[in-house]
Amino acid sequence: MAEQTLADIGEFGLIAELTKRFPQGEQVVVGPGDDAALLRIRNGHVVVSTDLLVEGRHFRRDWASAADVGHRAAAQNLSDINAMGGRAHSLTVGFAAPPDLPARWALEFADGFAEECALVGASVVGGDVTRSAQIVVSVTVLGSVTQAPVLRSGARPGDVLALAGRQGWAAAGLAVLGRGFRSPRAVVAAYQRPEPPYAAGPAAAAAGATAMVDVSDGLLAEAGHLASASGVAIDVTSGSLEVPEPFRAVAAALNADPLSFALSGGDDHALLATFPSASALPEGWREIGSVSDGDGVTVDGKPYDGPTGWTHF
């Protein structure tokens, strides 16, 4: 297998190898192998999301292993369900790649993807493979929400803004890799394999979170989405954000502000949510700002003139 390419193994040989890597959960009636998967639907809501990863745009093979890319592809989709207060249970994966890609790369990608899915008990129930000039991964994830889903549009004046999960680590890692370095190792590893706070979404929903979003494109950018959808103003307290020593080391090397990683970084897949001020925050959540009448996002009461996050176009 190590010497074979995708052209050698063929479409159906690849599918057979991939299928072995994805055990099926109890919600799966029919998994890979038929025209479509068949799933049991329980009480509550079904939540669905789709994301793409494109080689050269979202990842580079010299910056992350195949298993790392698999973890990242799964994490960014599982986190979307988490941000609704739900739990993912099923995914389908579209995988396009050049025919000379080593088959081992595709299978190690699948191993990483499966390992990440196992953290929440989710199953890959189907997908498709095809040929392309570069690697493209399209993932659709389905999950369930047993209570009312938490949308972006429910924040109210007087709420507090809170964060769960690490924030800014992946951005610092990307900055390091972009300059051709591999240290500090902690931030590079954070970029390669995010650690979304999977328990935090359902806990926030149960605690009465009024709005929530996955921080994939930058904390201030996602705060802007909450503010816009809810028709409120959000202020972030910079002193409440963690600026650990690796951020300072990277910032010193790049002549940058270490706080910028926390304010505008994405890809850690932390969660940002608003809660009624009288509510006790669930374990793992920390207050980082406030919600008031008005519109837009400020930092320490003032407009922020730096980048707020990733833009795709």
Whether residues 107 and 130 fall in one domain: yes
Residue closest to 208 by CA, chosen among 265, 282, 264: 282
Whether residues 79 and 203 fall in one domain: no
C-alpha Rg value of the chain to the nearest Å: 20
**Domain range enclosing 179:** 160-299
How far apart CA 221 and CA 311 sit, in angstroms, is: 9
CATH number (domain holding residue 164) = 3.90.650.10
How far apart CA 219 and CA 266 sit, in angstroms, is: 7
Largest Cα span, the chain = 62
Q: Which residues contact 252 (CB under 8 A, 6 or more apart)?
A: none
Q: Which of 116, 145, 174 is the last residue before a domain boundary?
A: 145
Q: Is 218 annotated as a binding residue?
A: no
Q: Is 68 annotated as a binding residue?
A: no
Q: Is 154 annotated as a binding residue?
A: no
Structure tokens at 216: 């994939």
How far apart CA 260 and CA 67 sit, in angstroms, is: 29
Q: Is 295 annotated as a binding residue?
A: no
Whether residues 295 and 171 fall in one domain: yes
Structure tokens at 151: 């949308």
Instruction: Write down the pTM of the prediction.
Output: 0.89
Residue 120 lies in a domain: yes
How far apart CA 156 and CA 176 sit, in angstroms, is: 38
Q: Is 49 annotated as a binding residue?
A: yes
Three-state DSSP at 102 gives strand
Whether residues 53 and 178 fall in one domain: no
CA distances in angstroms from 171 to 39, 72, 207, listed in the order given: 37, 14, 30
Residue 197 lies in a domain: yes
Whether residues 188 and 230 fall in one domain: yes
Residue 151 lies in a domain: no
Q: Is 152 annotated as a binding residue?
A: yes
Q: Is 138 annotated as a binding residue?
A: no
- In the chain, which stretches have pLDDT less than 70? 1-2, 33-38, 42-43, 311-313
pLDDT value at residue 230: 97
Amino acid, single-letter form, for residue 311: T
Q: Which residues contact 285 (CB under 8 A, 6 or more apart)?
A: 162, 163, 164, 200, 203, 204, 273, 275
Residue 229 lies in a domain: yes
CATH number (domain holding residue 13) = 3.30.1330.10
Whether residues 166 and 134 fall in one domain: no
Residue 19 lies in a domain: yes
Q: Is 132 annotated as a binding residue?
A: no
Q: Within the chain, how many helices (H) and strands (E) appear?
A: 10, 12
Q: Which of 120, 145, 170 is the last residue before a domain boundary?
A: 145
Whether residues 141 and 164 fall in one domain: no
In total, how many domains does the chain have? 2
pLDDT value at residue 313: 53
Q: Which phi and psi (to 5°) does residue 109 adopt?
A: -55, -45
Q: Is 217 annotated as a binding residue?
A: yes
Residue 152 lies in a domain: no
Q: Is 310 annotated as a binding residue?
A: yes
Residue 237 lies in a domain: yes
How far apart CA 85 and CA 271 sit, in angstroms, is: 10
Angle CA 293–298–300, to nearest 5: 105
pLDDT value at residue 2: 61
Question: Using an 8 Å Cβ cutoff, are 297 and 224 in contact?
Answer: yes
Residue 310 lies in a domain: no
Q: Is 35 annotated as a binding residue?
A: yes
Whether residues 85 and 212 fall in one domain: no
Whether residues 135 and 182 fall in one domain: no
Which residue matches tokens 């799966």? 28
Q: Is 80 annotated as a binding residue?
A: yes
Whether residues 35 and 166 fall in one domain: no
Q: Is 90 annotated as a binding residue?
A: no
Whether residues 48 and 178 fall in one domain: no
Angle CA 64–310–262, to nearest 5: 80
How far apart CA 51 and CA 197 sit, in angstroms, is: 19
Whether residues 230 and 183 fall in one domain: yes
The two beta strands, 211-215 and 38-39, are unpaired
Q: Which of 145, 170, 204 is the last residue before a domain boundary?
A: 145
Structure tokens at 197: 């706070």
